[in-house]
Structure 1
Amino acid sequence: MENNLDYNTELQGKIALVTGGTKGIGKAIAESLSQAGATVIITARNLPKDVNKAHNFIAADLSQTEIITKLANEITEKFGRIDILINNMGANTLPGGGFSTLTDEHWDEALQVNLLSSVRLDRALLPNMLAQKAGVIIHVSSTSGMFPLWEATMAYSAAKAALNAYSKSLASEVSQHGVRVITVSPGLNKTEAMSAFLEDLANKAGITMEEMTQNLMARVGGIPLGRMAEPEETAALVRFLVSPRASYITGANYAIDGGNFPVV
């Protein structure tokens, strides 16, 4: 069968929201969706100096319920709808060291940033998707949600595991109404956040960043491809999943980890 699809325009006319879209994986996703023809809205707490002027930036702290409501209203007023929602917000900034180092405040922060912000944003934007009987929601999780490291990612991993379960449940509920919900679980990505995480671990261990990088790769069982992912590689998967080419995919969790995940 002849394929006449133009990948550079396959998202033409679509309106996409990418949370955490000013750096790292979120920035790469925003760029990729824009290249495919989508109108892209990005959110973050602060506007960086190097933001792509072609993207529509809205400042928002998505850990606050009232801000999410305000964001949803602003999007509806300015753009009318959302066709693609990329819930990319998330962070592992809590202290390592296991259960004894994590306070109730730490646990609450992990859940707010890595789970509940996505739940609330879905709740705010899903009604319009359901009304138009079309839409795609991507939850950017982490392989840490399936492979936790007690000494470094305990609360973060627990929150991401909860996001995985929520995403699967939501897909089962809304896919029959035309809205696809998919989880993407990146492994180690070469981002600013990862560099800061590795630097902190290296300083605590008294070793170099290069040594800590190798230690972390070994700790997660090794990466057959032998390197971290570039954010653009993760973005390429997301771009495919939100496109018409992936129209029969929903409820799945895609690990993009260079072959790291140690189970079949």
Structure 2
Amino acid sequence: MESNQNQYQDLAGKTALVTGGTKGIGKAIADKLSQAGAQVIITARQHPEETKLAHHFIAADLTQPQQVDQLAQAINERFGGLDILIDNIGGVTAPGGGFSSLTDQHWEQELQFNLLAAIRLDRALLPSMIARKSGVIIHVSSVAGVKPVWYQNMAYAVSKAGLNAYSKALSTELAPQGIRVLTVSPGATNTPLMQQLIQKAAATSGLSAEETFQQMAARVGGIPMGRMAEPKEVASLVYFLASPAASYLTGANYLVDGGIVPVV
């Protein structure tokens, strides 16, 4: 019987980029792909605090077109292009409160961060995949893209819904060229950012962190599994979709939500 290490080498010889790969879900994905044998590049706006990184790091603000071009050039020159692109950056930057709380600037910031950054990075790195007629692109979206909460994340939800539609359209265009495009939509996930959000809300409400989380979950209909996802659980799905085991999968959006979305 093969050892676990040998079983996890199905990405050997592949080069992957994980945006936002220094913490949370992105870090878990980068580590998982590396365990599977891939050479992993990570990017974020600022260099992480760790002095010894497990992956090759390139600083880039993907909301800035020039920095996206510079990142793509560095990857193409040093690594000869990519086999796997994980568009993971994103987050809520706009306030809650519904439509009247959102200015044009809020909408533009949310679209830049959660939609246009992925679009411009795909555009910059796709030519080498097309030339090889091979590649996998995975967009990390959000359950908010299919279940928006108007008082909490309206602009974010709209930007992620746009990412979902773009991902589907791109998958249809690129499938005949040997490139698979998929979407993964996590729900509440136990990341440092989520913990900060819960602790801040708990301090205001006077409840414990667990009580605060359950209260937040109840407002959106509850999580049937009763807990948040762990980053490694999202990473396991992303790894599978990037691997040869998923070679016939493209165009789909996979929810990692503990059952929160009440649709078939």
TM-score by length of 2: 0.95
Q: Quick check: 1:143–1:257 contact (8 Å CA) kept in 2?
A: yes
Hey, what's the Cα distance between the residues in 2 that align with 1:168 and 1:83? 19
Residue 177 (structure 1) aligned with residue 185 (structure 2):
no
Provide the identity percentage.
Answer: 59
Distance 1:38 1:72, change over 3 A: same
Hey, what's the Cα distance between the residues in 1 that align with 2:127 and 2:81? 10
Q: Quick check: 1:22–1:51 contact (8 Å CA) kept in 2?
A: no
State the partner residue of 1:94. Answer: 94
Q: CA deviation at 1:208?
A: 4.3
State the partner residue of 2:240. Answer: 240
Q: Partner amino acid for 1:192?
A: P
Q: CA deviation at 1:95?
A: 1.3
Q: Quick check: 1:83–1:135 contact (8 Å CA) kept in 2?
A: yes
Q: Quick check: 2:29–2:238 contact (8 Å CA) kept in 1?
A: yes
State the partner residue of 1:105. Answer: 105
Q: Quick check: 1:21–1:44 contact (8 Å CA) kept in 2?
A: yes
State the partner residue of 2:60. Answer: 60
Describe how 1:186-201 pairs up with structure 2 within 5 A.
186-201=186-201
Hey, what's the Cα distance between the residues in 2 that align with 1:174 and 1:53? 33
Hey, what's the Cα distance between the residues in 1 that align with 2:123 and 2:215? 40
Describe how 1:72-221 pairs up with structure 2 within 5 A.
72-203=72-203, 207-221=207-221
Distance 1:253 1:243, change over 3 A: same
Moved more, 151-160 or 189-198: 189-198
Hey, what's the Cα distance between the residues in 1 that align with 2:190 and 2:107? 26
Q: Partner amino acid for 2:255?
A: A
Hey, what's the Cα distance between the residues in 2 that align with 1:95 and 1:205? 19
Hey, what's the Cα distance between the residues in 2 that align with 1:3 and 1:256? 30
SS of the aligned residue for 1:47 comes to coil
Distance 1:51 1:178, change over 3 A: farther
SS of the aligned residue for 2:107 comes to helix
Moved more, 223-232 or 189-198: 189-198
Hey, what's the Cα distance between the residues in 2 that align with 1:175 and 1:222? 37
CA RMSD of aligned residues (A): 1.8
Q: Quick check: 1:148–1:154 contact (8 Å CA) kept in 2?
A: yes
Q: CA deviation at 1:125?
A: 0.5
- How big is each residue's C-alpha offset from its partner over 1:112-136, in whole Å with a ceiling of 9 and x where there is no partner? 0000000000000011101100000
Q: Quick check: 2:63–2:113 contact (8 Å CA) kept in 1?
A: yes
Matched residues, number: 263
Q: Quick check: 1:24–1:192 contact (8 Å CA) kept in 2?
A: yes
Q: CA deviation at 1:219?
A: 1.8
TM-score by length of 1: 0.95
Hey, what's the Cα distance between the residues in 2 that align with 1:74 and 1:203? 44
Q: CA deviation at 1:178?
A: 0.3
- How big is each residue's C-alpha offset from its partner over 1:62-112, in whole Å with a ceiling of 9 and x where there is no partner? 010000000000001110110000000001132111111111111100000
